[in-house]
Each structure stands twice: as structure tokens, then as C-alpha cells.
Structure 1
Amino acid sequence: MPFRSPFPDVEIPDVSVYDFIFGDLTDDETGRTAVHDSATHADTTYGDLKARVDAFAGALAARGIKPGDVVALHCPNTAAFIIAFHGILRAGATATTINSLYTPPEIANQLRDSGALRYVTVSLLLPGAMAACTEVGLGAEHVIVLDGAEGHESMMDLLSEGAAPPDVTIDAATHLAVLPYSSGTTGKAKGVMLTHRNLVANTLQSMSVIAEEPDDVVLAVLPFFHIYGMNVIMSITLKLRAKLVTMPKFDLDEFLRLIHEQKISFLYIAPPMAVALAKHPAVDSIDTSSVRAVLSGAAPLDEALGEAVKARLGCGMLQGYGMTELSPVSHALPIDRTDISVGSVGLAVANVEFKVMDPATGEEIEAVPGGRTAPGELWVKGPGVMVGYLGNDAATRETIDDEGYLHTGDIVEVGPEGEVYVVDRLKELIKYKGYQVPPAELEAVLLTHPSIADAAVVPHPDEEAGEIPHAFVVLQEGASLTADEVMDYTAEKVAPHKKVRMVDFIPVIPKSASGKILRKDLKGKTAADLG
């Protein structure tokens, strides 16, 4: 019997993301501050934000962007990101958001796969962006640099035209709003097809549990290009008419300064930030009394760490669970459920049902009255489940079954209140500071080195990062390499969060009869352990 959300279903309107967030903006709300941009110190009201979104959409349409086209957005957290993102969607186009840390080859792969026709970025990221655009044949005239750069149109150029937004009609249930990239349960990054209905539904579902309020001031440091930043932090806050304070990157001193200066009341974080909040002495030097709630996501949070943050800040401590493929939230811990451990990712949000399946037998694991279930893989069903992976029907079929359940690859247990505890991963992803790192991608890079005969990459526990990529390397006969040389080699070819950070040299990689790497035989081990 599936587990069901304890919350009543929410009604999901058949509207676009733009109409959902801005369509009911009242005259009284237009003067409220929507965004404080910490990089520029500028405030943008809800009225101005809507007008700029409309103008950006009109300018894109004037340049030939039409419903169904894909526009790449490569930008840190700023007010300009919000305007461009919603402008792309308002024009009927699909936004494919690009990780700010991606290298030119990684960007080029996403551009090719998504078929993006325009590229929107900032001057800081322009060199890498242009290298990727050149590789895929996207000319400079198709690249918009929001803060301006010679030879490119800027946001000011587009907004100053005052073009009216286009008259577009979309089917919210089928029209793709965003195309973020995720590694799913394994392998290289794939385009996750999320519709307007997916995003609208999950915003409403999340609001049924996440206790953000209209008077909250929300610090947005987790990146908007990631589905957590995009559809939890940005969408919920804007829908509620609360205030977003954007940070382009995490810096602890600036993070703490903004908490104090802006009187931040709601913090969305990932576990590495929880470590800083719980342990760093600098936290004692600022007034954090404005913070009433902290929600951690992107990777599992240890109960002791969550309790330490809660005690130090004197606030509510929450945890949530989701995946890009779920738009993203399926579970969250309500702020008033102090009877449930903060080590739990919480209860199923509205409109969600889920199963726990024994990966060995394929049998459904049943609830245990008054206790916790046996561990099993979490399968989730609800209106946030993606349409599928772009151009990859096989991967879609492997992830979503005929009943509509998405197989998460995470191993969980369910407690007596229906709360979920993530205890392991069936999938092979490494979670470094909340970012997905596919081992297979790093293994492919390592095998391009002429001195490396074979390689395997597994997660290794790390207090600050959660997990780090640990490479086991087999050298070619007669070859010589140091661990630093291996790490430097991979660092040149992948985004910083994907770098190999630990290396062991061993004589052979353990594999099954079918040739599959036996990562379980390597996890938590060193060369000395393996003899």
C-alpha cells in the first residue's frame, strides 16, 4: 500500500508560470520590494519586476524567439537572472539554465543537446560562454550579456526598446518551461523536461509544508540555475510577495553580513552551510535573531548537525527532499512538527504518494506501526514528476515506470508518522556540497590520460562537503604518476565541484563478471585497505 501525503490535495491551476506568479499582482503589492540585489545594492519592486519581465519577453520575441524555442541562461544569482528567466518563459520559450561553474566543453554539450538558439549571460562568464558558443556555431550576435560587453546586446538595450510582450498561448500541461540538466540516478547529465504545470504544481505543493510567509526576507544564495534555487527559493518567495536578497556566490562573511543587515528571516541552505552556521566562530559576532527558520536541502542533513544549527541560531530547523526530476520537492519537514527528528527529510507534500521498494526482491515494503520500516528505494508519484529526459526515451523508461512512479535511486526508511529518512543511495552519484557528481563522467576523463589503464571513482565521506570524489587508479605498465598530477589533470577538464580530491593507486579495479565496477568494494577504503 503506497504512503500518502497527510496534507489535503491542492488545486493546480491550468496556467503558465508567469501568470501564476505575476497574474494576480495587486496595486497594493506593486510597491513591495521583490528583490534586493546584494551585488548592486539595488532594490526592485514587484511592479518594476513585472514590467521588466514583460519588456525582456517583448525584446526576445522581436528577435525571433517564439514558443518552443530554447534559450540558455548562464548567470549567477542577481535581479537580472530573475528578469531574464521569467522573460524567457513569458515569451513562450524554454529556459535551459547552465551551471555557473561549467567549463566550455560542459557548456557546449548542454547547448548541443538542448538546441538553444540564444545565450544569455554576464560579462564575468563571457569568455567560457563564447568558447562554448563558438564550438557549437552560435554567433556573438545571438549572445546577450546582461551587464554589457562590447559586441553584444545588454539587458538595458533590450529593456529600453519597450517592446510589448508577445501574445502567446501555451498548454501548461505539455509546454516545456525549463530544461535543467541532471545526472538522474547515474551517467552523464540529461535534459530534464519540466512543464509549466510541473513548476506551478510543485510551488503550490511545497507551500503546503514550507512555512515561508509574505513578510519574510529570504536570502537566496543557493543558485537559481539549480532547481532548488529556481522553483523553491525564487518561485515560492515571489508568489508570496516576500523579499528576495540575492547573493551571486557563497562567502561566509558576506552571508553573515546580509543576515544582519537585511534582517533575514528565512534561510534556504545546503549541508555545508549548516556546518559553518553550527561551528564557525564568526557566527557569534553577528545578530542572527531575525532568523526564524532554516531549511536544508540538496543533500541529507545529519540530525546532530541540524540540532546544532537550531540551538545556535535559536530558530526552527527544517529539512526537505527532492530531485530535479520531481520539480523538485516531494518531502519536507513542517516547522511545527517538533516531534519529528530534523534528521528526517519530512513528510510527503500535498498531492504526493510514494512507495518504498526492496531493491533485492522488487517487493513493496509495508509500514511498521509505531516503528521504522526496513530500508528500500523511494518511488514517488505526483504532479511534479518530469515529462522525461530530452531525447532519451531509454533513460526515461528506466526512471519512470508504467504507473507513473519515479524511481529516485535513494534508499530510505519511513518512520511512524510517515516521515522519511534517507539512509543510503542505490544510485551512484556523489553529492559534493549538494552538487551532483557522476562517477562515470570522472572515470571517462581519467581514462583519457595516457598513463592510466583503468579507474574507478567513488564517494568518500567528508565533514565539510558531505562527500568528495575519490579516484582509484590503475597505472599503465611502467608508467608513473602522483596523486597531485591525477587531480590536476581532472581539474583542467571539469567544473570545480566535480574535481577528484583524493587518489589511491591500486593494481586492479574490482569488477563483476559483466564488467561493472564494484563500487561497494571501494567505498570508504584506501589502497592500504585493499592490500
Structure 2
Amino acid sequence: MASQHIISGPEVTTIDTSLGKSLYQSLVNHGNNIAMVDALTGETRTFSDILTRSLSVAECLHIRGVTIGDVVGICSENNLDFILPVLASYYIGATCAPLNPYYTTRELLHAVNISKPRIIFCSDGALKSVDEISHQVGFLKEIVTFGFPLSHKHTPFISFVRDKSRSFQLPDVNDLNITAAIQCSSGTTGLPKGVMLTQRNILSILQTANDPRFTITKPGDVLLALLPMFHSYAFICQLISTTHGSKVVVMNKFEEELFLRSIQNHKITTLMLVPSLVVFLAKAKIVDEYDLSSVQHVFSGAAPLSKESETLLKKRLRVQSIKQAYGMTETTLVVTLPPPNGNKSGSSGILVAGVKCKVVDLETGRNLGPNKKGELCFKGPQIMKGYCGNAQETSAIFDADGFLHTGDVGYYDDDGFFYIVDRVKELIKYKGYQVPPAELEAVLINHPAVKDAGVIGVPDEAAGELPLAFVVKQPGARVTEDEIIKYMAGQVSPQKRLRGGVLFVDSIPKTNSGKILRKELRSMLKSKL
């Protein structure tokens, strides 16, 4: 329904259990079914294994006095143990703070000073940085390592999963508004902020995942966990797979051959990807060497996916569906999802249950109707509580009516389907026109000689800004700047042409979730001038 150009998703049903008890019951229900497989070693875990181990971790945390309001950090690449402290935290009502293991010491110190974890579980790769920052903060009491301790001060994770008393009972957690996770925002415009997600936020997403009107995964699906579990997208997806009882094949980093071999050998049915990986599957020659016929559904998130990339992948893999959803760290996972049937190409779907949306004019602030581009603003049970320890940024992102302003430009059509255009702050201003870099990037990567691309605006006295493209060539491709500029001129309207030129580079800098780091592109440009 639309009221003053505010549209709403379906009604939401009441949530009557805590996050910990919900996940506990799912693990009990799925029992001895295989839950996880390590893509590299082949090691497997059943849901019963995960339940037993996570209860042991919960008991160890409980013995240490960790309780509601305390924060448990996890700083690790993907592995089979990652989910155990997550589940354990939720059993006892604690808060989980996933941390990027690739952070520099400076970045990690910034992140932990936001969430203030009492204990951090970390991988071998992250241990040195975690140990360094532990001497600079007073709140971190213990470091638990998934690998080998650097010293006697660190606790080996194996001691957390040994048989315990088996009498541990899940405490009652009745307040669903307590913080369940402090997620680091992507930080594409500065240092990350700590996004506080409540138990209700996450339970609402798990409820959406079980809603037949919005199919994310289903029992029997085999998923590939390639995207980093410390990032909100994959972090929530691992909880959805636990709820659904899906088998997950876990990769700790992207390697082309392992990625393709895992899909082939484990008969992956559903892929959760970012646009750059969709483009890889659609265009890379190596893909033809593998049998990927098991793949039925592809989800793409974190950045807009072009219709062209969607069409290329459908044609190549003959998948049943390629679906885009829309969300951000501040919306827990998604606020729009494609319906099981009748989705529109290039669309991010329709509003999920309980969500309201308004599209606001960038100049006047007025609510806009269908087919008019403006800033997307959302309200609902999936929207974060706020930024941890940052009341100023929290008040800045919410308006007087409680709507979260996303900073993303988009629109909805007459049927309520949403389309994402670009970030407000990333729009290139050319002679009064607003040019979305993501649109130009989508056109560029459809050129047969282009492997990847990123676009920024460069200052121009007469026009304001001119679109400039950074281009990564396909291996062995021969293409010139002039050829790319002419190609684009034939594909886009005059204000979107690459009047700022083309620079050929080895790679496009991106976040772990696949978002282009335009501030780094600007730095690269300065170094070339």
C-alpha cells in the first residue's frame, strides 16, 4: 500500500523466542545431517557436532562470567569453527563483534575501541595484530586462538570444545532489543562505524528467510560460503543456513580453481555472490573447464548488478534464477527480496515483511512516487538500533519519522519492484546531470576486452566533473583508451561519456564485500598525475 508515497511490505508475524533458543532448536531439528564441509580439506561437521561444540564454548564463556551486555569478538577468515563462538554468544545473550582479520593494527584498534570485546577468538593470520592491540586496551581480558598460541597468554580454542559437564542450560533471554551483533560498516567513506543489530533485527531476517513469499534458501540446498563471514552479508547467511538446515561448503579465500572445483565436486545449488564474482562466472574462460550444472540459483548483493551481467550469466550457466536483493549493514541483511516467481530483470525485488519505504527527492526532500529516482529511506524491524557509542552519527542517519536514510539512489516501479542506481555521494555531477558510476561500470565490463572497471568523477572547471574509467584488461586482450571511449559513446547518453579518459590498471581496489573503493581510485589518479 502507498500512503503519501510511503509504501509497505506485507504484515510481519510476532516473534516469541530468543535468538539463541531459535538457533539451538534448529540445530536439534537438523541433527546428524551434514552442516559444513571444508572446501580445502574435506573435513565435515554435522548439525549435532556444531550443537555439542557450541554448547561447550557457551559453557566456557559462562564460566568466565560472560553474560548479557558483554561483547565477544571474532577476528578470523572463514573456517568451520567461526560459527561456534557466534552461537555460544547467542545462547547466553552476549553480543558478537565480527572483526576483519585483514585490518591493519590501526584499523583493528579503531574497531575494538568501538565494540570493546572482553574476549576475542582469532585465527593464526590475525593473532599478531590482535596481540598487539591487546596491550593498548584495558577491556580485552583473553585471546583465544583457532590455531597455535604465540605464547602461554593465549588460550587454544581446543580447550573450549572439550567435553564439559553436559548440564549447561541456556539462560532465559527475554529482551529482544539487546544488541546481538556489532558489525563494522564497510567504511567506503571513512573509518568503519559499529552497527548495533538487535536480537529482534536478526530474528526478523530469519523469519523473512522462512517466508514462502521470499525464498532465500531452502532445506536440501548446498551453499558455498566464500564471502567473508565477518562481513554482515555472509555473517547473517550462515545463521540462515543453520535455520534451514542447508549444507555449506566453506572456503577461506577466493582461488579461481578451488572456487570452480568446489561448485563442481560438491554440486553447489545456490551461490551467494557479489557482482565481481558474477562477472567472473559470466566471462572467465576457465569456467568452461568445469561442470557447474548443479547451480540453480544465484544471489547477488553488496553492489548493483547490471541487467547485462545477469543476462550473460543466465545464458552461460542456464541457472533457474539470478536474484538481486537490496540491503546494507544497517538493515541487518535485506529490506527487499525478489519473489519466488515473477521477478523483473535488474530489479532488487519488493519490500520484505514489516518494512516501509519512502523515496526522497535529493533537492527538495519531498517523498516521490513510482519511477522517480531519489534517496531510499527505510523503517522496520530489520533496521539497526544505531551506531555504537556514536549518538551524533545515529541521529544524522535517522530522520524525525524514524526512517533510515541509506545514501543510496533508487526508485520503485508501478508494481513495487525496486531498482538501485548508485550512492548519493558517488554520483558524478556533469553540467547539472547526475551520472551513476555503477551504470558506467556495468556497461564497461560487458566489453569483451574488459575484465573489471571502476569509474570516478574528476574535477573540471567548465563541467563540474568528468567521468573517468579505470579499466583492467582481460588476459591477452589488446584494447586502447580510444577504443574504450568510442565503445562507451555508442552505449550511453552524452552526459555519461568518458570525457575524463581511461586509465589501464592491474586491479580495482575493493572492500572484502566487493564494493569499489573510489577513494583509493582517486589516490591512484593523483599518483599518476
Q: TM-score, normalised by structure 1?
A: 0.79
Q: Is the 8 A contact 1:15 1:197 kept in 2?
A: no
CA, structure 1 residues 376+184, in 2 after alignment: closer, same or farther (shift >3 Å)?
A: farther
Q: Is the 8 A contact 2:77 2:228 kept in 1?
A: yes
Paired with 1:5 and 1:21, the residues of 2 have a C-alpha distance of 28
Tell me which residue corresponds to 2:173: 170
> Which aligned runs of 4 or more in structure 1 are off by greater than 6 angstroms?
468-472, 494-497
Q: Is the 8 A contact 1:327 1:384 kept in 2?
A: yes
**Partner secondary structure for residue 55 of structure 1:** helix
Matches within 5 A, 1:33-182: 33-137=34-138, 142-150=142-150, 151=152, 152-163=154-165, 164-165=167-168, 167-182=170-185
Amino acid paired to 1:21: L
Paired with 1:267 and 1:121, the residues of 2 have a C-alpha distance of 27
Amino acid paired to 1:63: R
CA, structure 1 residues 143+466, in 2 after alignment: closer, same or farther (shift >3 Å)?
A: farther
Tell me which residue corresponds to 1:388: 386
Amino acid paired to 1:353: K
Does residue 258 of the first structure (1) align with residue 262 of the second (2)? yes
Q: Is the 8 A contact 2:116 2:139 kept in 1?
A: no
Matches within 5 A, 1:34-433: 34-137=35-138, 142-150=142-150, 151=152, 152-163=154-165, 164-165=167-168, 167-182=170-185, 186-208=189-211, 209-231=214-236, 233-315=237-319, 316-338=321-343, 340-341=344-345, 343-367=346-370, 373-427=371-425
Paired with 1:465 and 1:299, the residues of 2 have a C-alpha distance of 14
Amino acid paired to 1:148: F
Paired with 2:27 and 2:112, the residues of 1 have a C-alpha distance of 34
Moved more, 114-123 or 32-41: 32-41
Paired with 1:495 and 1:134, the residues of 2 have a C-alpha distance of 30
Gaps of 5+ in 2: 429-436, 446-450, 460-504
CA drift of 1:428 comes to: 5.1
Q: Is the 8 A contact 2:71 2:116 kept in 1?
A: yes
> Alpha-carbon deviations, 1:221-264, whole Å to 9, x = none?
11111111011x21221111111111111112111000011000
CA drift of 1:274 comes to: 0.7
**Partner secondary structure for residue 214 of structure 1:** coil
CA, structure 1 residues 394+17, in 2 after alignment: closer, same or farther (shift >3 Å)?
A: same
CA, structure 1 residues 290+505, in 2 after alignment: closer, same or farther (shift >3 Å)?
A: closer
CA drift of 1:495 comes to: 13
CA, structure 1 residues 427+35, in 2 after alignment: closer, same or farther (shift >3 Å)?
A: same
What's the C-alpha RMSD, in Å, of the aligned pairs? Answer: 2.9
Tell me which residue corresponds to 2:524: 503
CA, structure 1 residues 49+470, in 2 after alignment: closer, same or farther (shift >3 Å)?
A: farther
CA drift of 1:185 comes to: 8.8
Q: TM-score, normalised by structure 2?
A: 0.79
CA drift of 1:177 comes to: 0.6
Paired with 1:138 and 1:126, the residues of 2 have a C-alpha distance of 17
Paired with 2:188 and 2:177, the residues of 1 have a C-alpha distance of 24
Paired with 2:349 and 2:513, the residues of 1 have a C-alpha distance of 32
Paired with 1:10 and 1:398, the residues of 2 have a C-alpha distance of 27
Amino acid paired to 2:301: G
CA drift of 1:153 comes to: 1.6
> Alpha-carbon deviations, 1:42-93, whole Å to 9, x = none?
1111111111111101111112222211111111111100112111222321
Identity of aligned residues (%): 32
CA, structure 1 residues 469+272, in 2 after alignment: closer, same or farther (shift >3 Å)?
A: same
Paired with 1:183 and 1:319, the residues of 2 have a C-alpha distance of 19
Tell me which residue corresponds to 1:451: none
